[in-house]
Amino acid sequence: MRPAPPRGFTLLELLIALSIFALVAAMAYGGLNTILRTTEAIDARAHALRALQLAWLWLERDLEQYVDRPVRGEYGETRPALRLATPEGDLVVFTRDGWSNPLGEARSGLMRVAYRLQDETLYRRWWTVLDRAQDSRAIARPLVQGVIGVRVQVLDDHRRWHAQWPPLDRDPQAPPPRPLAVELRLETRDYGTLRWLFRLPH
């Protein structure tokens, strides 16, 4: 009895096998693409959350070392130790202590710091000198993106909130009010409204 000749795949069987392989590959690619998109979205949210946490830490570190030390502006005018809504566009600007000096340079341990919102990005700005000259320039660092708006208030020692500081309606004969706390309300695209409250040293 002669052995049967070897039998290969018919064209129909080959087409069916290729169709099944293409279907499985498409399903696998769809699942992998969904996983990659989800991972990218999670990474983006985690990055935004880390940026918010870093901004909060910078603000806390700066404000908890606030000192009542006015400075001299570029044209020799006196500027208060703490000021809201400056003509230069800063949300809040103030003097802080604790500027580390590991190299022992001949400079003060005080620093002038400001926070500014520009193009939906919250920036931290600082100067290398307190009493500035006309050529003094601030160093800026972006902290948080996707910030739509920021509102800043100061709580005084009479437990009153002020959107302008120093207060415009204060009695010039009376001693100036003392700031107790600073509140920032951030309108963000990803997390809605955030309320940050920082107590000032006194």
Residue 17 in domain: no
Q: Is residue 101 part of a domain?
A: yes
Residue 8 in any domain: the answer is no
Task: Write out the residue range of the structural domain in which residue 102 sits.
Answer: 60-199
In a domain, 186, yes or no: yes
The backbone region for 104, taken as left when phi is positive above 0, alpha when psi lies in -120 to 50, beta otherwise, is left
- Per-residue pLDDT tens listing for the chain (202 residues): 555 555 666 767 777 777 787 778 777 777 767 776 777 766 677 788 899 999 999 999 999 999 999 999 888 888 999 999 998 899 999 999 987 776 666 667 899 999 999 999 999 999 988 888 877 889 999 999 999 999 999 999 989 999 999 998 777 777 778 999 999 999 999 889 999 999 999 7
> In this structure, what CATH number is given to the domain that contains residue 64?
3.10.610.10
Q: What is the pTM of this model?
A: 0.77
In a domain, 41, yes or no: no
Alpha carbons 56 and 73: distance in angstroms, whole number: 28
Report how many domains make up the chain: 1
**145 found inside a domain:** yes
Instruction: For residue 159, tell me if it sits in a domain.
Output: yes
Residue 29 belongs to a domain: no
